[in-house]
Amino acid sequence: MKLNKKSAIIYSSSVFFVVFNMIPFVPRVTAAFKYLQEGMSIPEVRGKDVITGEEVSSQNLLRGNVLIVAFWATWSERSIMQLKDMKEFYNDHPDLPLKIIAVNVENQLITPEERKIIESKIVELDLPFPVLIDDNLSVFYEFGVIAVPSTAILDSTGILRYAPSGYSLATRDLIVDSVEVLLGLKKPSITSVVKKGYQPAQKASRYYRLALQLAHQRMYERALANLEMAREADTLFSAPHNLRGQIYLEIDSIDAAVRELETAVRLDSTSVAARAGLGRALLIDGRIDDAFDKLSALHAEDDTYTPALLDLALVMVKQEKYREAIDSLKSALELNPRDPIVHYYLGKTYQQSGQKAKALESYKTALELIFPAP
């Protein structure tokens, strides 16, 4: 049975509401960003340094330098771990062509109290690189960040070469390894995580970035037109098909979404976003067994992509596998404890499995996250 339109809208909204924590994991496929992948250039990151007030631009900092863009929040302990480690590495190599921008993604709207907390944490850490606050999470959404912390590592030409999500001791080692390779301090090995990736034609990249901006503004018709031009400019570029599929899901054109996402996966089988999107589309289309197969296979390769964990749980609910669904939703909450959509579906699953007290608790948490106390 297909999900009704109201359920599909509620469900698809979870795609755009993300603030995540992370558990230790060594990724086998890249899943830090929904709309970017290795081989692509990134949208410009710019703003004022929180402490100095100076203008900061990723384009200006690149200019022959390796660049790290780190998304973080004060509520994420792993973010603080990462900032401390990056500070140590940066200070230990003052003469290297390396630049870092830390982008705070605390909340959609930053209150004066939260701004003070952010400033206090920056001063406490004594960071030697600029820190920006992502007002309205505009950069967060443009990248399609799915976990906090997440990291973009760019080579000196501005191409994304490695993008790990979350942070652990293993992730730290992989980040250091990738930066040392890009700086020429060591040769890449067969285990190196630095990836060349597919580098799309510049014209296709321009159309794609414009489409991203339009999609965030919900100007879907114009976004789809630009994505078609991106596809025509580079027929092997998978990202436009992925974004077209995501847009079609938003406007309830499920058959079109399936076609676009299948094409994206065919062009790039390592695209976690496209594979997860295809699983979601199959779920909404009522093809439960197919959705389960796709999402289970993805989960076996990358168990840190929270949208896929939510989708897999919804599939399990359809299969009346409530215990497994609850486990999947709890895993999603370990990654993203502040996502009200996950709490809502956990409550719904508890309710369907007869656990009313736990259902009420989860519903209450979801409401508190959506409507925080003043």
Per-residue pLDDT of the chain (374 residues; tens, 9 = 90+): 344 444 443 343 343 333 323 333 333 455 678 888 888 998 899 999 999 999 999 999 999 999 999 999 998 898 999 999 999 999 999 999 999 999 999 988 888 999 999 999 999 999 999 999 998 888 998 898 888 899 999 999 999 999 988 888 988 999 999 999 999 998 887 777 888 888 999 999 999 999 988 998 899 999 999 999 999 999 999 999 999 999 999 999 999 999 999 999 999 998 889 999 999 999 999 999 999 999 999 999 888 788 899 999 999 999 999 999 999 999 888 777 778 899 999 999 999 999 999 999 999 999 988 887 66
pLDDT digits (tens, 9 = 90+) for 246-272: 999 999 999 999 999 999 999 999 888
Domains of the chain by start residue, with CATH: 46-182 (3.40.30.10)
Distance between CA atoms of 220 and 302, rounded to whole angstroms? Answer: 30
Report the pLDDT value the prediction gives residue 31, as an integer from 0 to 100: 66
Residue pair 270/29 in contact (Cβ under 8 Å)? The answer is yes
- In angstroms, rounded to a whole number, what is the distance separating the alpha carbons of residues 215 and 43? 14
DSSP string, 223-263: HHHHHHHHHHH-TT--HHHHHHHHHHHHTT-HHHHHHHHHH
pLDDT score at 142: 87
Only one residue has tokens 């710019």, namely: 46
User: Beta strands of the chain (E only): which ranges?
Assistant: 46-48, 55-57, 66-72, 98-104, 131-133, 150-154, 160-162
CA 203 to mean position of chain CA atoms: 24
CA angle 340, 17, 165 (to 5 degrees): 105
pLDDT for 136 equals 87
Q: Is the dihedral of CA 10, 13, 19, 23 positive or negative?
A: positive
Give the number of other Cβ atoms within 10 Å of residue 300's Cβ.
Answer: 9
Give the pairing type, strands 150-154 and 131-133: unpaired
Closest-CA residue to 146 (of 21, 295, 275): 21
Phi, psi of 156 (to 5 degrees): -70, -10
pLDDT of residue 330: 93
Strand runs (DSSP E) across 140-226, as ranges?
Answer: 150-154, 160-162
Residue 100 phi/psi, 5° resolution?
-135, 140
Please answer whether residues 245 and 12 qualify as being in contact, where contact means their C-beta atoms are separated by less than 8 angstroms: no
Q: Look at residues 143, 152, 153, 216 and name the one whose alpha carbon lies nearest to residue 180.
A: 153
Distance of CA 281 to the CA centre of its chain: 19
